[in-house]
Structure 1
Amino acid sequence: MFSRKQLEDIKNLQRLCEAEDHIQLKLNWDMLHNRNNDESNDFLHYENEELAGFIGLYDFGNSVELCGMVSPNYRRKGIFSKLFTSALEEITKRKKYTRVLLNAPANSSSAKSFLQNISCTFSVSEYQMKWSETELFDYDDVTIRPSKPEDLQDEIQLDVRCFGFSENEAADFNHRVKLHNPREFYMIEHDHQAVGKIRVHHEGQEAWIYGFAIYPEYQGKGIGRKALKKIIKDEHEAGYGIFLEVEARNSNALRLYESCGFKVVQGQDYYQYK
């Protein structure tokens, strides 16, 4: 688990790199805030008591994502390569991943330069989207309520059927993400039946939507659109800017989000490490 100073050091380094390179890094702050001591997921390099480099691992069942950065003041010293080697050693030790994905901001020249020198292939692009104000309505036939312990099986099955997790992976993932912030998780009901789920994480004045899933048999009926608009309405009225992420190849989700007022503000490219 990070100390308060380490978290602040990472945040400051992120600001510095983003300003220098005109990029947006995806560091999964909801996960960084909730690290535990059971696994080594984060690799930090200090120079003269200043955080010079950082790499974080983000576990998603059978795949793991890796994202990092080095201060502009300490580049071309091999710092990122050393951190990357340490991260790969930890990944190899776990013996459970079928995919290792390297995350790079789409317009980061330094990231692309590094990727050209390692064994990896492009996998997929992901868009960060921000909601722009549109007219919102409430709907009586769709309900959003906090998740309860008895909803766990539905949450696991939604991860299995919508995101391709195995049941064991989904159970482990749900256990880990709920350890520290169980109040971020909501169930979507239609006619008093649980048909989906959604998570809302707050970071400063931003509300980030994650894990939005509707059972396949209930998709295409407008339920997801109504649920999303209810969440947007609540978060907007509470004064938050609203964000989410979507893979470029998920055209149905992309169209849904665009129709609800979301616009692309940043792109991330993922490369599969060989």
Structure 2
Amino acid sequence: MLTEKQLVEIGELQHECEANDKIQLKLNWEMLRNRSENEQSDFLLYEDGKLAAFLGIYSFGKKAELCGMVKPEYRRKGIFSKLMKQALSACTERKYREVLFNAPAQSAAAKDFLKTISCEYSFSEYQMKWAEKELAADNHVTLRQSEPSDLPLEIQLDVSCFGYMEQDASDYSHCIKREDDQEFIIIEFENKAVGKMRVSHTNGEAWIYGFAVLPDYQGRGIGRNALHKIIAKENEAGYPIFLEVEAKNAHALKLYESCGFKSFHVQDYYEWQKSS
């Protein structure tokens, strides 16, 4: 569990690295702020009394994503390799089925480091921001707050739409519901719950995550109308609106673009090739 002082130090290091490298790091701040008390998923290294490097493990069921950074003047000294060794040891102990390294597509430093690790490129993820666009909504589609009784549907959606194993989806759902500043939304079509999304409010921004509609109800405009409604709500509240989508999900990418979202950053993911 990170202290407030450590969170401030990580934020300061992030801003320094992003400004120096002209990139945007994905540190999953809602997860950093809500680590469980006994969870060892963050690795920090100090030099001369200042945070010189950070590496975080972000768990999604039995899948883990790793992302970190090193203060520019402390690079090429083996510091990040030391943190990575600790993190991969923790991943091995937890028996993750998949471990992914997250690197901003424009980060030369990250790409150079990944050449030293046994990994293969897996996919890219677009971060998108909504631009002003006229929206329309269908009254057959409504949004409401998630209730405890919706948990089986939320798990089913993660399994059918995102490829989660059922137990992983259950573990992940229980984990994210501990986080602050999250709004869990159920999408209804003609009074039947058929989809979900989560909205995170962080640093004055609204981020849409976990957007999914049951396969049997896809292709009817339900997702588009649900997006229109949540965009209108968040825009009226004064939030700039963002989301993320994997590049290989061409259908989702086209849907978001048609709703007014435009890409502004790309994150690349590499899968760890653990030796047997």
Place the TM-score, normalised by the shorter chain, in its bin: over 0.9
**Equivalent residue, structure 2, for 1:108:** 107
Distance in 2 (alpha carbons) for counterparts of 1:183 and 1:262: 21
Alpha-carbon distance, 1:48 to partner: 2.1
Distance in 2 (alpha carbons) for counterparts of 1:162 and 1:134: 27
| 1:163-217 Cα shifts (integer Å, max 9, x gaps) | 1112111111111110233851110001110000000001111100000010000
Indicate the larger mover: 130-139 or 261-270.
130-139
| 1:101-154 Cα shifts (integer Å, max 9, x gaps) | 000000100001011121111100111000000012343111111100111111
**Equivalent residue, structure 2, for 1:2:** 2
Alpha-carbon distance, 1:37 to partner: 2.1
**In the alignment, does 2:65 pair up with 1:65?**
yes
Alpha-carbon distance, 1:38 to partner: 3.1
**In the alignment, does 2:264 pair up with 1:265?**
yes
User: Residues 45 and 54 of structure 1 are in contact (CA less than 8 Å); yes or no, is this contact kept in structure 2?
Assistant: yes
Distance in 1 (alpha carbons) for counterparts of 2:47 and 2:180: 33
**In the alignment, does 2:116 pair up with 1:117?**
yes
Distance in 2 (alpha carbons) for counterparts of 1:99 and 1:250: 19
Distance in 1 (alpha carbons) for counterparts of 2:228 and 2:87: 39
How many residues align structurally?
Answer: 273
Distance in 1 (alpha carbons) for counterparts of 2:13 and 2:181: 29
User: Residues 30 and 180 of structure 2 are in contact (CA less than 8 Å); yes or no, is this contact kept in structure 1?
Assistant: no
**Equivalent residue, structure 2, for 1:74:** 74
Compute the RMSD of aligned alpha carbons.
1.1
Distance in 2 (alpha carbons) for counterparts of 1:129 and 1:72: 27
User: Residues 181 and 200 of structure 2 are in contact (CA less than 8 Å); yes or no, is this contact kept in structure 1?
Assistant: no
Distance in 2 (alpha carbons) for counterparts of 1:116 and 1:180: 34
Indicate the larger mover: 211-220 or 175-184.
175-184
Distance in 2 (alpha carbons) for counterparts of 1:114 and 1:170: 31
Distance in 2 (alpha carbons) for counterparts of 1:23 and 1:238: 28
TM-score by length of 2: 0.97
**Equivalent residue, structure 1, for 2:209:** 210
Alpha-carbon distance, 1:65 to partner: 0.5
Distance in 2 (alpha carbons) for counterparts of 1:153 and 1:181: 22
TM-score by length of 1: 0.97
Distance in 2 (alpha carbons) for counterparts of 1:138 and 1:112: 43
**Equivalent residue, structure 1, for 2:143:** 144
Distance in 1 (alpha carbons) for counterparts of 2:93 and 2:235: 44
| Counterpart AA for 1:238 | A
Q: 1:60 to 1:209 in 2, by over 3 A?
A: same
Show structure 1 runs of 5+ residues with no match: none
**Equivalent residue, structure 1, for 2:36:** 36
User: Residues 31 and 179 of structure 2 are in contact (CA less than 8 Å); yes or no, is this contact kept in structure 1?
Assistant: no
Distance in 2 (alpha carbons) for counterparts of 1:149 and 1:29: 25
Show structure 2 runs of 5+ residues with no match: none
After superposition, residues 144-163 of structure 1 pair within 5 angstroms as 144-163=143-162
**Equivalent residue, structure 2, for 1:27:** 27
User: Residues 146 and 183 of structure 1 are in contact (CA less than 8 Å); yes or no, is this contact kept in structure 2?
Assistant: no
Indicate the larger mover: 19-28 or 136-145.
136-145
Distance in 2 (alpha carbons) for counterparts of 1:141 and 1:131: 24
